[in-house]
Amino acid sequence: MPIISVIKNTSMGNSLCSKVPYEDFNIGSQLIVAEYEEALFMKDGVIEEVFGPGKYTLTTENYPFLTKFVAKFVSGGVSAYNCKVYYINKSHHLELKWGTGTPIRVIDPVWGIEVHVQARGSYSVVVKDGKKFFLKFVGANASAVEQDIVKNFRAAFIQNITDGLAEYLVSKEDEVLVTCNKKKALADDMMPILNDILDEYGMELINYYIESIEVPEDDPCMGRIRELRIQRQEKMFEREQLAADERLGFNLRRESSEADRYVSGQMAQADYERMTIRDQDGNNGWARQEYADTLKTAAGNTSTGGAFVGAGMGLAMGQAMGSMAESLMHTGENAGPLAGAAAGAEAAPAKLICPSCNAAVPAGSKFCINCGKPMEQKKEVCPSCGAELLPGMKFCGQCGAPIAVVNKCKVCGAELQPGQLFCGSCGAKKED
């Protein structure tokens, strides 16, 4: 066997550990170690030295341990020595495949049905400790390639992967199919577990990927889950439709109620305005008009009148009409021509309507017996020309003079001074 003076690695790229085919080297040989390698010097089964990346001149002066390697022979006038040199490839070894040989049986946490899950993926490793890797993984084989990792760690990987995958799927609250799409989260959880396995052999897991986690399409359990999911979606749709119908009915009822309140308010406002206009003469015109409408309606009901006459009640009807007319037309001493027509009937007491609360008040009352407010509102006049002012006017409509804002008592109309909280005339509290 020739004696070599240059030592370098000539193995293939997928090699993790390779032995230099020669064992006899000259003193002063050049050792070349690439940046992705380590070189192990072994003599009599003992690793004497580990060389990192670089170029080394192997002499006894530089490396005293070579002294015991030197043999008793000389080659070309140069002393030689005998040893074994191993190169450890420390680059990343990518796309090492893994996969579950048989489906994993797990219970779906949502449906409580057993399903069968299959998974596959890849990983990449790197040799972290060359000496430890050589002693525990390579050993007497003297060489190792990437497929040796796949072959030797397949059982350990699959055992931990299947256990971790089953525990991960069951521990979540989602369906198995939903959890199967969270591959990165599961891969991150599995990294520390698999790293502990490789660390014992001087290797480190760089990346771990899960390509797919799926349930076989022909799995009958998966078909049952699909049926249950469809039924659940239908029930959810029905509940949403019922809720939408209820919301629509509620909104319609609310809008109808608001419309009724608006119409009622408009009608009440119209009645109030008509009452105000008809009572401007101070003779209870609004009530008189209502009585007049009632008499007109009764007079126009000929069928009812005919029935009364037929029953011999025409006289009673006439007396009732006369009494109503008397109470309608009676306005006091100045009743006019109507007073003579009703002279024989007993006069009904006259009533006034409170302009504030619409309560019936006896004639001649100055204050309402219901709310206590004055029956006649004091009219505002212009301080310049004496013209009557409407409520809210800021300028006189006759002379154009500005109207000063004066706070007055809402009860008696007396003027209130600034800061005064109670009326000095009637003692009523000032309203905000």
DSSP-assigned letters across all residues of 302-340? HHHHHHHHHTT-HHHHHHHHHHHHHHHH--SS--THHHH
Q: Using 50, 70 and 90 to split pLDDT, how confident is the model at 307?
A: very low
CB 174 within 8 A of CB 229: no
Q: What is the pLDDT of residues 281-295, one digit of tens each?
A: 555 666 666 666 676
Task: Flag whether pLDDT at 3 surpasses 60.
Answer: yes
Q: Which helix (H) or strand (E) holds 297?
A: helix 285-300
Query: pLDDT at position 296, please?
Result: 65
Reported as a single tens digit per residue, the pLDDT across 149-170 is 888 888 888 888 888 888 888 8
Q: Are 50 and 40 in contact (CB under 8 A)?
A: yes
Q: Are residues 104 and 210 in the same domain?
A: yes
Q: Are residues 110 and 158 in the same domain?
A: yes
Distances (CA, A) of 136 to 35, 53, 144, 276: 23, 23, 12, 111
Structural domain that includes position 423: 378-427
* pLDDT value at 320 more than 60: no
Could you tell me the pTM of the whole model? 0.49
Asked, for residue 178, whether it belongs to a domain, the answer is: yes
Q: Cα–Cα distance between 358 and 379 in angstroms, integer?
A: 19
- Give pLDDT, residue 346: 46
* Residues 102 and 190 placed together within one structural domain of the fold: yes
Verify that 199 and 273 share a domain, yes or no. no
Same domain, 83 and 60: yes
User: Do residues 211 and 255 share a domain?
Assistant: no
Query: How does pLDDT run across 33-58, given as a tens digit for each residue?
Result: 999 999 999 988 889 999 999 999 99
How distant is the alpha carbon of residue 73 from its chain centre?
85
pLDDT the model gives residue 303: 52
Average pLDDT, the chain: 78
- Among candidate residues 67, 89, 111, the one where a domain is terminated: 89
Q: What is the mean pLDDT of residues 249-254?
A: 88
Residue 422 has pLDDT above 80, yes or no: yes
Q: What share of the chain is helix, strand, coil (3-state, %, to 5)?
A: 40, 25, 35
**Residue type at 26?**
N
* pLDDT grade for 5, boundaries at 50, 70 and 90: confident
Structure tokens, 85: 């040199």
Per-residue confidence (pLDDT) for residue 408, from 0 to 100 = 77
If one counts the domains in the chain, the total is 4
Domain boundary among 198, 216, 234: 216
Q: Tell whether 110 and 149 lie within a shared domain.
A: yes
Q: Are residues 201 and 156 in the same domain?
A: yes
> Does 211 fall in a domain?
yes
Torsions phi, psi for 296 (to 5 deg): -65, -40
Q: Give the residues across from 4 on adjacent strands.
A: 25
The whole-angstrom separation of Cα 20 and Cα 58 is 16
| Together in a domain, 36 and 83 | yes
Instruction: Find the DSSP H helices in 172-219.
Output: 176-180, 183-199
CATH code where residue 112 lies: 3.30.479.30
Query: Do residue 16 and residue 81 come from a single domain?
Result: yes
Radius of gyration of the chain, Cα coordinates, nearest whole angstrom: 56
Q: What is the pLDDT of residue 350?
A: 65
Span 132-141, average pLDDT: 89
Residue 352 has pLDDT above 90, yes or no: no
Q: Taking residues 416-426, what's their average pLDDT?
A: 79
Structural domain contains residue 358: no
> How far, in Å, CA of 30 to CA of 336, rounded?
147
The whole-number pLDDT of residue 316 equals 46
The H or E element spanning position 82 is strand 78-82
